[in-house]
Structure 1
Amino acid sequence: MKRRAPFFAPTLCLAGALLAGCAHTIPVAEAPPVLDLPAGWSQGGKTGAQEWPDAHWWQGFGSAELSQLVGEGQKDNLELAAALSRVRQAEAQARIAGVALLPSVDVSAGAARDLPLGDHHGANVSSSGLLQVSYEIDFWGKNKASVAAAEASLRANFYDRQTVALTVTSGIVSTYLQVLSLHDRLGVARENMSNAEHVLSLVEAQRSVGAATSVDLARQRSAVASQHAAIPDLLQQEREAQSALAILLGRSAQTFRIGNYGLDTIRLPEVTPGLPSELLSRRPDIRRSEARLAAASANVEVARAALFPSIRLTGSTGTQSSALLSLLSGQNLFANVGASLVAPIFDGGRLRTERDLAIEQKQELVKAYRSTVLAALAEVDTVLGQIRSLDERRQLKQDELEQTRLAYNLSEIRYKAGAEDLMTVLDTQRSLSDVQNELGILKLKRLQATVSLYKALGGGWNAG
């Protein structure tokens, strides 16, 4: 044994040096794959729109009530509260993972009293204490990689919470605009019903003097009934939209009502031309994909490190004395330090399979990241195209409305003068009603397309 000691000690030191060297070969988490992105979008104009949209983009619609509702939803929405809870869970997981980098310390203590038979005055009291410390040397970076994976998962949950917040905010704004649009459509329906009743009174007057037939009278009464029938359906749609808005706000639908306003109270925000593709970096879902990819890279390192031995240092120190007060007296203090190495010998290929699984999961997330970025590019380009198309359609529909209204007014005048039949009045009246509804729907779609663009660009959110 004495002859082998000189050989064993250098060998152990050499092994330690080699293992320590391996600790520096842990690869750094890979950056997300670089994609060939365009400088901007085909629907853009000038460049230099880095600061658009604003973080409080919903204020651009110019509605104090809307801003109040958004603030309420961001505070009370239940899905957002659940997402915040998931972030806090991830924070706890990250703290748990970090514990593996620290030593573990256990303390044990005991006391005993010996009573000799027949002598109650010669009792011996003894006590003992033991302090045991263990620490796993992270040669292969497994523990550090576990912490990195937990931290990346925490970031992913944080970005996921921001995605939920953006979705909730966009939903509140879009649903609010829908309610206002239904207010407008109800106003148009009541106006059309009033027009139909006015024409009915003219037909009844014409019928009383023999200038109109019973068929004319029945047709107009049918038109009035049709206008009446449109109102209950619109009222139901309004109730459903208000209920959906109440849910987004975390409120009871039975007691929730908003002001009886229309879309004429809403300002249409201008879209800044020349939006650069760098704005996509604001999207929390893309940041979330990046964080998940980083977590997967770290998990690969954890699985790879599990193939190598784990080295644990243990140390203990303790005392034995006749009284607990002399717990740490030098004469009774004893200590020992040892090292243990645990290496996998045969596990049926489980560790290698787990490593292969982690690698494939990472590759899946690489593809998912690329897909997320490309989908985001396409989404922005599609919404910009919708905005351009809706602007053109609204202008054409506005011109059509002016001509249709003129045709209806002229046909009514000519019918009173006996120069036009009732069918012409009915046709122009129906056309006016249709064009008014179509214009209202186009106005809503244009406003909601702006909301979609804000959402597609990350809503002005920036992780800093």
Structure 2
Amino acid sequence: MTSSTPRGTRTAPRFWRLSSLAVVASLALSACADFSGIQSRGTLRPASTLGLDSQTTSVAPPWARQDWWTQYGDAQLNSLLTQALAGNPSLQQASLRLERAQALAGGSEAALLPQVGAVADLSRDLYTSNGLYPKPLAGSVRSMGTLQASGSWELDFFGKNRAALDAALGAVQAAAADAQAARLLLASQVLRTYFQWARQGQQLAVAQRTLEQREEMLGLVQSRLKAGLDTQLELRQSQGSLPDARLQIEALQEQIGLTRNALAALVGDPALAPRLVQPVLPEQISADVPAQVPVNLVGQRADVVAARWRVEAASRDTDTARAQFYPNINLKAYVGLSAFGFSNVLKSSSEQAGVSPALSLPIFEGGRLRANLKAKTADLDSAIAAYNGAVLEAVHDVSDQLLLSESLWRQQALQHSARQAAEDAYAIARQRYQAGLGTYLQVLSAETQVLAQRRASVDLAARTVDTQVALWRALGGGWTPQTVAVAPQGAVASGLMAVQSALAGPRSAPAVAPNGPPAVP
């Protein structure tokens, strides 16, 4: 419906009466497109069923800081992590995905605003003599000029565009959390690879001493054989132990080379490998691990936060699909100049204007709208299931790391006692040998137990550090989400906010941003 109104006429009251009748009629007919019976069946898992400490904390404990690894005091490790987090290609990809989500959100926001455009059209046309145009246009060549501004504004009465924007904002927040998850994963991989390299280096030192010990034992057996105190059996047994010791050294050197290359690849600088210095495992590792984890720390894991935002985005997608069942009202208007002949374009008599409210109403869509809503609802249920799975996996991960931490500390205490006993026996054997009360073969045999305990000690220390890194990652790496929340609507979204509140702890009333959704502190 288009109205071109010359100056001096008064048709506005009639126009608005007709528009009001059209709106009323469209609302009455909207019942023809029905979405009844289509609703989400997903249920968010209550935080009370997770088995975590219901108390929350607003301060990250020492074992849940973003720079937790600095407690080891390893300058080379700190430098590697800084370099890895600055230039790794996987982090760049995550950052670009976030930028893309932000751009799409900007496009969704544009749908809420009026659109304004302008056109300048100058043409010269030959009008057919046998067409629709009568004389004097028929068969003539005329110039035509148009200078016109136009605008349109979709009135979002039923929240379709608002819901689409909220869904896009949810995707942005999920992408931001995914980027943090990628950073945390990379940092944990660098840490675990670095300490794995340290373990291999210390095991290599033990293997090299083992080879030296077996060479000494072979020399002793050869001397005893010449003296008639040993037989060829003892000689062949001693000779057979040397290839095995050399094999262990070669295997460890291979592992060290591969681990060093893997570390350089994680850092993003393959040429860095030859310049790295062999690290050692930390001698003193803090045993300050939590007995039980506050529930809000699990809720701050980047993967849980991302899954939570995907539920929110999917919920708003269903709102968008549901709003498509209602009428769509778009106001269009134009004003400008148009005339035959270029010289007439700028004359006041060439002005033209019009306004045209456009109403579209879904009546019979052949099931298209219902199918779309069913698909979006299924997406929402899938997002809820993924969120529940992420929460369960997070709790499982944290529980495993806590159990391993406690068990490894007990194992280290027991192994320390065993190693001390072996060291004491070795010291006694050396004292007896030096006093002429024992043989050097007894000293070497006692040292064999010491070397075995050293290997076990290195492995336990490496497992303890690796478990600490895994626990740090499982607790979210000390990250505190800084998000812009979207006010939830409906039963599913209300349940979402209930779980968010339980996982993230108490929060103050949301502050409404001047031009956006409520912001969560």
TM over 0.5: yes
Match in the other structure for 1:382? 400
Indicate whether 1:200 and 2:210 are aligned: no
| Conservation of the 8 A alpha-carbon contact between 1:77 and 1:248 | yes
Stretches of structure 1 lacking an aligned partner (at least 5 in a row): 20-29, 116-122
| Conservation of the 8 A alpha-carbon contact between 2:56 and 2:295 | no
CA distance in structure 2 between the aligned counterparts of 1:406 and 1:6, rounded to whole angstroms = 101
TM-aligned CA distance change 1:16 to 1:402, over 3 Å: same
Question: Structure 1 residue aligned with 2:388, among 341, 345, 370?
Answer: 370
Match in the other structure for 2:103? 92
Counterpart secondary structure, 2:48: coil
| Conservation of the 8 A alpha-carbon contact between 2:84 and 2:266 | yes
Counterpart secondary structure, 2:157: coil
| Conservation of the 8 A alpha-carbon contact between 2:105 and 2:169 | yes
Question: Structure 2 residue aligned with 1:166, among 172, 184, 196?
Answer: 184
Letter paired with 2:418: E
| Conservation of the 8 A alpha-carbon contact between 2:210 and 2:245 | yes
Alignment of 1:54-453 (within 5 A): 54-112=65-123, 127-252=145-270, 255-264=273-282, 267-268=285-286, 270-272=288-290, 275-321=293-339, 330-408=348-426, 428=446, 430-453=448-471
Q: How far has the Cα of 1:384 moved from its partner?
A: 0.9
Match in the other structure for 1:35? 47
CA distance in structure 2 between the aligned counterparts of 1:304 and 1:9, rounded to whole angstroms = 24
Counterpart secondary structure, 2:310: helix
TM-aligned CA distance change 1:323 to 1:245, over 3 Å: same
Counterpart secondary structure, 2:111: helix
CA distance in structure 1 between the aligned counterparts of 2:269 and 2:165, rounded to whole angstroms = 40
Match in the other structure for 1:118? none
TM-score normalized with structure 1 length: 0.84
CA distance in structure 1 between the aligned counterparts of 2:145 and 2:404, rounded to whole angstroms = 83
| Conservation of the 8 A alpha-carbon contact between 1:181 and 1:263 | yes
Counterpart secondary structure, 1:458: coil
Match in the other structure for 1:11? 21
Q: How far has the Cα of 1:397 moved from its partner?
A: 1.1
* Cα shift readout 1:354-390 (whole Å, capped 9, x = no counterpart): 1011112212222222222222122212211101100
CA distance in structure 1 between the aligned counterparts of 2:100 and 2:355, rounded to whole angstroms = 37
Q: How far has the Cα of 1:407 moved from its partner?
A: 3.9
% identical aligned pairs:
27
Counterpart secondary structure, 1:459: coil
TM-score normalized with structure 2 length: 0.76
CA distance in structure 2 between the aligned counterparts of 1:295 and 1:360, rounded to whole angstroms = 13
CA distance in structure 2 between the aligned counterparts of 1:269 and 1:387, rounded to whole angstroms = 8
CA distance in structure 1 between the aligned counterparts of 2:171 and 2:16, rounded to whole angstroms = 48
Q: How far has the Cα of 1:47 moved from its partner?
A: 9.3
CA distance in structure 1 between the aligned counterparts of 2:341 and 2:284, rounded to whole angstroms = 83
| Conservation of the 8 A alpha-carbon contact between 2:213 and 2:444 | no
CA distance in structure 1 between the aligned counterparts of 2:408 and 2:16, rounded to whole angstroms = 86
Stretches of structure 2 lacking an aligned partner (at least 5 in a row): 1-10, 30-41, 127-140, 483-521
- Of residues 130-139 and 4-13 in structure 1, the stretch that sits farther from structure 2 once superposed is 4-13
Q: How far has the Cα of 1:282 moved from its partner?
A: 2.0
CA distance in structure 2 between the aligned counterparts of 1:366 and 1:436, rounded to whole angstroms = 49
TM-aligned CA distance change 1:266 to 1:409, over 3 Å: closer
CA distance in structure 2 between the aligned counterparts of 1:289 and 1:125, rounded to whole angstroms = 61
